[in-house]
Each structure stands twice: as C-alpha cells, then as structure tokens.
C-alpha cells in the first residue's frame, strides 16, 4: 500500500510562513514608529521616563541629580493565532488553498504591531490609556517637574473635519510642528532639538491630502511650499476614525511608542503525528509571541483632530 504524503510537512510550511512574514514585515512601520526595549521578565518598570539633567558649569565639582520620580510598570502580553485544517481539506487540495491561508496567517502576524500602534494612538485620549505621568497619553494638562502645563492635543479647523482641504491640512501641520517643538521636560528644558524625524500618521481618507500638502514644491498661490518634506507620511488603514491624524517625532532615543520585546514570534505545526492529527484528523498551524506595545514620551506625539 502506498504511503500518502500531505505535502504540508512542518519544515516546508515553516519556511514558507517565515518567507512571507519577512516580505510583509519589511513593509510595516512599527520599527520606524517605536523604540525597541528588550524585556527579560513578565513586566518592565520604566524609571527612565524622566529627563536626564542638563549640562552645567563644573563649579565646585560634579552635582549628581536623580531622574524625576515618574515611572510605570508594563506587563508583557502573549499573542497567538491558530489555523485548524481538516486532513480531508489537505488531501483534496489541488490549488494550494491551504498554503494561501498559511501566507495569510503570516500577513496577520507581520502587521499586528502596526495595528497595535494604531489602537494606542486612536485611543490615547481615552480613560485607561495612560502615559507615565498617569494622565491619558493625549491630554491637555500634562505636567512634569518644572515643565508647566502642556497639551499634546490640537483641534485644527476644517469645514469638513473628515475631509480637510490641503490648505487646512497645511495649517494644521504648521501648528503641530510649532507645538511639538515647544514641549519641555521636567527640568524645563526643550525636549526636541529640531524638526527632523517627523512622521504624519494619517487615515486613508487623508492620504492624498497629506501628500499634496507636504510633497508639492509650490502652493496654489505659486509661492514655495515651506512644508515640503517636513514629515514622512504613513497611512494606517487600521484607524476607525477619519477626522484625526498624528504627528510623531521619531529620531529620538525614546519615542512616543515603545515596543517591549519579550519573546520573538514562533511558528508551530501539529500535523499527522500529533494527538489532534491522529484522533480528530485536524491539523493545526499557529504562531505565538510575547511582547507589548505601550506609550513612551508623550512629548514626541501630537494628536490633531479636526473640528
């Protein structure tokens, strides 16, 4: 009697999964928008989220100053996605539909961090989505040490909030750049040292508007567009609202979003020799990882919600 192979041996599937995962991961933005922090425990305590003392004259000698006492604990989360396939589906598969589903599983795993960043940004003004200062991440009353009251929320005007004009978007960007460059740390010192590294994260409805506002050389009046190249544009299809975008400064040591990296993604298959494969003729293909996307410095993130 001939031995029938499924054509879906674990090594082959694993290789195909990670090949697709790597292809899609290269197109994602989470590495650009977040600071990676290695994690070795179930949770991490962020005590560094207070400023480093500024330089001073030597005078009578060194003066050691501690970091402002603001910190918070972030627990790692475990994520998974598992695909169950009936053996008969594999035996009858002539067109590689199962392999396509494995590739879709890789797509979901690769884009998950981007979707988590979108969730953090979109909910950053809601209760429970707090920054290290115990305020909501996007708040009008951030205070820290000698910083004074500061707001990382703007409400630029638009005739149609869900469809701002190029001119309205451009005005919002001017105000946003001014605001994000004005933020101070707990020592009363500027947080930003220039307008470089800016990223405008926009919903799909604003993609073309943002491109015209920030990429064209001239404005309608024929004058030079001073905002040309002021920010990279990232379009997130994960946003559920279309009346807001977010300005992030990303060329800093600790960004507005932190990626807490506990355990890398792993791919596991339970096929013919597994209990489910033998008893139920169900093959399972799944991914697992432990990490957490959370908030870093609110001073490097601004919400601009049109009104």
What pLDDT sits at residue 6?
46
Q: Above 50 in pLDDT, residue 2?
A: no
What pLDDT sits at residue 50?
58
> What is d(CA 141, CA 220) in angstroms, rounded to the nearest whole number?
37
- Go through 205-237 and write b for each residue having 16 or more CB atoms within 10 A of its CB, e for each that does not: bbeebbbebbeeeebeeeeebebeebbebbbbe
38 lies in a domain? yes
270 lies in a domain? yes
pLDDT per position as a tens digit, 134-169? 899 999 999 988 889 999 999 999 999 999 999 999
> What is d(CA 54, CA 184) in angstroms, rounded to the nearest whole number?
12
C-beta of residue 111 within 8 angstroms of C-beta of residue 28: yes
Q: Which of 299, 300, 252 is nearest to 35 (CA)?
A: 252
65 lies in a domain? no
pLDDT per position as a tens digit, 108-144? 999 999 999 999 999 999 999 999 888 999 999 999 8
> What is d(CA 78, CA 80) in angstroms, rounded to the nearest whole number?
7
Top pLDDT among 282 and 212 is at 212
DSSP conformation letters of 42-104: SEEEE---SPPPPP---TTS----PPPS--EEEE-EEEEEEEEEEHHHHHT-SS-HHHHHHHH
64 lies in a domain? no
Q: Per the structure block, which two tokens stand in for 9?
A: 């041996």
In this structure, what CATH number is given to the domain that contains residue 245?
3.90.1690
Average pLDDT across the chain, whole number: 86
256 lies in a domain? yes
Residue 2, number of CB atoms within 10 A of its CB: 4
Give residue 114's domain range: 10-51+78-139+152-305
What pLDDT sits at residue 273?
61
What pLDDT sits at residue 100?
87
> What is d(CA 246, CA 119) in angstroms, rounded to the nearest whole number?
12
Q: Per the structure block, which two tokens stand in for 173?
A: 């960007």
What pLDDT sits at residue 199?
98
147 lies in a domain? no
What pLDDT sits at residue 36?
95
C-beta of residue 46 within 8 angstroms of C-beta of residue 135: no
Top pLDDT among 175 and 48 is at 175
167 lies in a domain? yes
104 lies in a domain? yes
Name the H helices within the chain.
10-25, 30-33, 87-91, 97-122, 166-182, 207-215, 275
Residue 61, number of CB atoms within 10 A of its CB: 5
Residues 6+ apart with CB under 8 A from 31: 259
Mean pLDDT lowest for which of 28-37, 56-65, 259-268? 56-65
Mean pLDDT lowest for which of 62-76, 78-92, 211-225? 62-76
Domain count, the chain: 1
Confidence grade of residue 77 (pLDDT, cut at 50, 70, 90) = very high
């Amino acid at each position: 009697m001939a031995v029938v192979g499924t054509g879906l041996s674990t090594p082959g599937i694993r290789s195909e999964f990670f090949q697709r995962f790597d292809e899609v991961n290269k197109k994602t933005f989470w590495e650009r928008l977040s600071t990676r922090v290695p994690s070795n425990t179930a949770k991490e305590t962020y005590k560094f989220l207070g400023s480093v003392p500024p330089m001073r004259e030597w005078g009578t000698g060194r003066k050691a100053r501690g970091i402002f006492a603001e910190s918070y604990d972030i627990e790692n989360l475990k994520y998974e996605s598992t695909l169950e396939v009936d053996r008969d589906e594999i035996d009858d598969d002539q067109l590689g539909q199962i392999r396509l589903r494995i590739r879709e599983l890789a797509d979901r795993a690769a884009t998950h961090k981007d979707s988590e960043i979108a969730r953090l940004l979109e909910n950053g003004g809601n209760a429970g989505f707090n920054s290290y200062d115990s305020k909501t991440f996007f708040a009008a009353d951030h205070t820290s040490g000698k910083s004074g009251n500061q707001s990382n929320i703007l409400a630029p005007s638009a005739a149609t909030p869900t469809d701002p004009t190029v001119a309205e978007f451009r005005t919002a960007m001017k105000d946003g750049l001014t605001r994000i460059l004005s933020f101070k740390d707990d020592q009363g010192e500027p947080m930003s040292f220039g307008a470089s590294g800016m990223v405008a994260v926009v919903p799909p409805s604003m993609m073309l508007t943002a491109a015209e506002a920030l990429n064209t050389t001239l404005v309608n009046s024929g004058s030079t567009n001073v905002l040309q190249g002021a920010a990279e544009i990232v379009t997130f299809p994960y946003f559920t609202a279309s009346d807001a975008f977010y300005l992030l400064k990303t060329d800093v040591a600790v960004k507005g979003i932190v990626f807490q990296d506990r355990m890398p993604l792993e791919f596991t298959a339970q096929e013919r020799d597994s209990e489910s494969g033998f008893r139920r003729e169900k093959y399972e293909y799944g991914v697992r990882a432990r990490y957490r996307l959370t908030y870093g410095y609110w001073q490097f993130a601004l919400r601009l919600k049109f009104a």
